[in-house]
Amino acid sequence: MITRQEILDLFRNGLFKQNTGLVQLLGLCPLLAISSSVINGLSLGLATTLVMAASSGAVSGVRNFVPNEIRIPVFVLIIAALVTVIDLTMNAFVHPLYLVLGIFIPLITTNCIVLARADAFAAKNRPLHSVIDAVAMGLGLTLVLLMLGAIREVAGQGTLLSGIDLVFGAEAQRFVVHVLPNYQGFLLAILPPGAFLALGLLIAANNWNKARAEQRTRAAVPVTA
């Protein structure tokens, strides 16, 4: 079984210490392309998390039966099958959102985070650990997508949660928050350069925070000879 400490460690790793978006810098292509609004970012993040949890569990389950030499093709097949399920499900139940996210749903197959966790973690650990690790990593990615989406949406069009009607129907339109009324719009934030700039700033903020924390611990522990 799994201890509480292990769960906590896995989550701390996935959300902060080994965050895929800000620390490992994996899977940046969908991260940059889809983070133009909160809803887009959140949807892709959750879809990826779902795929990761299922694929890590499946990979971990078959890890003792797969020959080492052909493990990557086998993992990719498992992931592709799961992505197809997600793809068809989203097409059926949240069709408008599916149209917005477009090619990036099928492309979760090739997202290196999914394969990286399958190969680096799930192939060496027990299923329960693997699923929790995948969920933690996926939520870490979702967190970054959410922050990036919020920054770009507010800077770009002055709203939050625009496009929520794509998920919950036209009535949900009233949940759209107009943060800056009468905003002229700042096209750059919505365009691809805005994604690079915002991600760069987030990574810088994260590194700065880490450097400061290190400095504090160094200051707190007196150096002994």
Partner 1 sequence: MPAPFITGRASVTQVMGWVLIALLPGIAVYVWLFGPGILITLGMATVTALAAEAAMLKARGYPVKPFLVDLSAVVTAWLLALSLPSLAPWWLIVTGTLFAIVVAKHLYGGLGQNVFNPAMVGYAVLIVSFPVQMTQWAGPLALTGESLTLAQSAAAIFGGLPKGTLDAVTMATPLDTLRTGLLQQHTVDEVMVQPIFGQFGGTGFEWLAVAFLAGGLLMWARRIIGWQVPLAFLAGVWLTAGFLHFYDAGRFGAPWFHLFAPSVMLGAFFIATDPVSGSTTPRGRLIFGFGAGLLTIVIRTWGGFPDGVAFAILLMNVCVPLIDQYTQPPIYGATRTGKDTQK
Tell me the one-letter amino acid at 95.
Answer: H
Nearest distance from residue 16's CB to partner 1, in Å? 24
Q: If binding is defined by CB under 8 A, does position 184 make contact with partner 1? A: yes
Nearest distance from residue 9's CB to partner 1, in Å? 34
Closest CB to partner 1 among 11 and 183?
Answer: 183
Closest CB to partner 1 among 45 and 194?
Answer: 194
Phi then psi for residue 160, to 5 deg, are -135, 145
Nearest distance from residue 153's CB to partner 1, in Å? 15
Nearest distance from residue 52's CB to partner 1, in Å? 33
Q: If binding is defined by CB under 8 A, does position 180 make contact with partner 1? A: no
Count of alpha carbons within 13 angstroms of residue 217, beta-carbon side: 5
One of 191, 205, 211, 213 touching partner 1 (CB under 8 A) = 191
Tell me the one-letter amino acid at 17.
Answer: K
One of 77, 179, 180, 187 touching partner 1 (CB under 8 A) = 187
One of 167, 197, 202, 203 touching partner 1 (CB under 8 A) = 197
Beta-ladder partners of 159: 178
Spatial separation of the C-alpha atoms in residues 78 and 85, rounded to whole Å: 11
Beta-ladder partners of 177: 160
For tokens 């201890």, name the residue.
3
Q: How many CB atoms lie within 10 A of CB 185?
A: 12
Q: If binding is defined by CB under 8 A, does position 188 make contact with partner 1? A: yes
Tell me the one-letter amino acid at 83.
Answer: V
Stretch that binds partner 1, among 36-44, 126-134, 178-186, 211-219 (CB under 8 A): 178-186
CB neighbour list of residue 98: distance below 8 Å, 6 or more residues apart: 90, 91, 105
Spatial separation of the C-alpha atoms in residues 47 and 204, rounded to whole Å: 27
Closest CB to partner 1 among 102 and 185?
Answer: 185
Nearest distance from residue 205's CB to partner 1, in Å? 12
Q: Which residues bind partner 1 (CB under 8 A)?
A: 184-188, 191, 193, 197, 204
